Amino acid sequence: MSAIDELATEFAKLPGIGRKTALRLTYHLLKQPTDQSRRLAQSLLTLGERVRPCERCFNLTEEALCDVCRDPRRDQSVVCVVEEASDIGAIERAGEYRGVYHVLGGRLSPLEGVGPDDLTVARLVERVGAGGVVREVIVATNPSLEGEATALLVRRELSAAGASEVTVTRIALGLPVGGDLEYADGVTIARALSARRAM
């Protein structure tokens, strides 16, 4: 495979990038000074080396604990459960939520071979059980079939662990069904959070 094809193939693996855009990006880079490409390559390497999951909530961070977990102003008694770390950015941009998070690392998807053990549900149960600080778990998985199945799994696992003093709520469906939290606007997210209901 030629160097051009090789890079274009890598670009085409990224979300939202088709073969045509991949080639355009590749040719664009060829026209730039070599330094530019070197910086890009270095950034990609640094990203992989520095960024890791938060030890408590699995949000992405360059420290042991993420910004949210380290912030003393955040309410540790409310935990918002999301599928991906990128969902946190969307909720933070809405600017209303003051609690902390837990990133599941995906959603149940039998078709893609993702089962309960591939998610961080057990760590959530552990976290909720330890110390008894948590009084509410808000399940903010996406309003898709997989997202709903994942929400039910979280509910079931928390019940099974006997976390009965903890209220489990689900964000309201102000979000379009089949939609993606990550791309929802701030007002929609704020409304979905404030209109959450007990599961």
Cα–Cα distances in angstroms (integers) from residue 100 to residues 82, 108, 137, 172, in the given order: 11, 22, 10, 19
Of the pair 69, 82, the CB lying nearest Zn ion is at 69
Of the pair 7, 69, the CB lying nearest Zn ion is at 69
Of the pair 83, 146, the CB lying nearest Zn ion is at 83
Residues 114-133 that bind Zn ion (CB under 5 A): none
Of the pair 22, 78, the CB lying nearest Zn ion is at 78
Residues 46-85 that bind Zn ion (CB under 5 A): 54, 56-57, 59, 66, 69
> Could you tell me if 97 and 140 are in contact, meaning their C-beta atoms sit under 8 angstroms apart?
no
What are the two backbone dihedrals, phi and then psi, of residue 168, each rounded to the nearest 5 degrees? Answer: -105, 125
Collapsing DSSP states into helix, strand and coil, what is residue 46?
helix
Smallest gap, in angstroms, from Cβ of residue 81 to Zn ion?
13
By rule CB under 5 A, what count of residues binds Zn ion? Answer: 6
> Could you tell me if 169 and 137 are in contact, meaning their C-beta atoms sit under 8 angstroms apart?
yes
Residues interacting with Zn ion, by CB under 5 A?
54, 56-57, 59, 66, 69
